[in-house]
Amino acid sequence: MFKAILVEKDDAGYRAVLSGLDTARLPEGDVTVRVKYSTLNYKDALAITGKGPVVRTFPMVPGVDFAGTVESSTHNEFKVADKVLLNGWGLGESHWGGLSQMARVKGDWLLHVPDGFDERQCMAIGTAGYTAMLCVLALEKHDVTPDKGEVLVTGATGGVGSFAVAILKTLGYTVAASTGRPEESDYLKALGATEIVDRAQLSAPGKPLGKERWAGAVDSVGSHTLANVCANMRYRGVVTACGLAQGMDFPSTVAPFILRGVTLAGIDSARCPIPERKQAWQRLAHDLDRSKLDSIVSAEIGLGDAVEQARNLLEGKVKGRIVVDVNR
């Protein structure tokens, strides 16, 4: 038996509860992992509350991330007692995820925990930090170097935003952080932001083109915010888009792209190929200031607290990251 958050949908409605489950119910996979830590992401909160169409099959164990120890394996690259982590690949959507004490998955989805990290640190980073690093790698790929100008991070007090600010600062960029929570300005400045941008400047319908302000951007918000970010990029600026906190729509025009040569780079962390995942985690091990982790993690909770915290996350009451100790 093991404990997990189980999401069910039937005639009685949609619900997520802490449940005791038999290991015989674990899905197919060639590696079984005893989970040590998971985390709570925006997508997990949508799955737990039913506020978004995340879960594709029921019942479902949510959680797009986990880190733990291999308990059994028939996969060539992983053996018993290996420390492993997983981000994405449909976990919590179509395959039982990480908000659980046990997981069974395809070994092709797993990574070894990088040297220098433990399982808790990996989940303090989680999909949020890994996605932020993918965004930074995309900016570098498109030649957005620190000397090109300021880089904007939207949704900056969230998980992706917090890591993006911290990583960019470490790499020498000048960072502007957009937030609707001015009381968190000191937090963002401590992570490395030199300018705080009021979310209201970006979240309402705007003009097709605005003032040329930023050389690059990391956007986890979408909707009008993403449209306004694109409209205010410098010539040949690059925007990485990785989220939809404001909405899935993109009410923009072609003006930034055909008049300023702006590049909009989509960032998908869930199905990102293994070589790029390894690169991102290697760069996190090298470029992330470990001293920032404690300030980015706002809470460490037990598995039974995940449902309540999911609601708080969707209501914008959570700063940074939530680590879940699944055995607490």
- Tell me what pLDDT residue 319 has: 84
- Tell me what pLDDT residue 318 has: 84
Which of 87, 116, 127 is CA-nearest to residue 103? 87
- Tell me what pLDDT residue 221 has: 97
Q: Is the dihedral of CA 85, 89, 95, 99 positive or negative?
A: positive
* Secondary structure of residue 19 in the 3-state scheme: strand
pLDDT grade, residue 18 (50/70/90)?
very high
pTM: 0.94
pLDDT grade, residue 105 (50/70/90)?
very high
In the chain the domains, ranked by start, together with CATH numbers, are 2-113+293-325 (3.90.180.10), 126-266 (3.40.50.720)
User: Angle at the Cα of 3 (from 115 to 94), degrees rounded to 5?
Assistant: 75
Encode pLDDT of 51-80 as tens digits: 989 999 999 999 999 999 999 999 999 999
DSSP letter string over 199-228?
THHHHS---SS----EEEEEES-BHHHHHH
Encode pLDDT of 227-275 as tens digits: 999 999 999 999 999 999 999 999 999 999 999 999 999 999 999 999 9
* Spatial distance between the Cα atoms of 228 and 26, rounded to a whole number of angstroms: 45
- Tell me what pLDDT residue 60 has: 97
* Spatial distance between the Cα atoms of 252 and 274, rounded to a whole number of angstroms: 33
pLDDT grade, residue 165 (50/70/90)?
very high
Encode pLDDT of 177-191 as tens digits: 999 999 999 999 999
Encode pLDDT of 192-206 as tens digits: 999 999 999 999 999
> CB–CB of 35/122 below 8 Å?
no
* Secondary structure of residue 136 in the 3-state scheme: helix
> Average pLDDT in the 149-156 region?
97
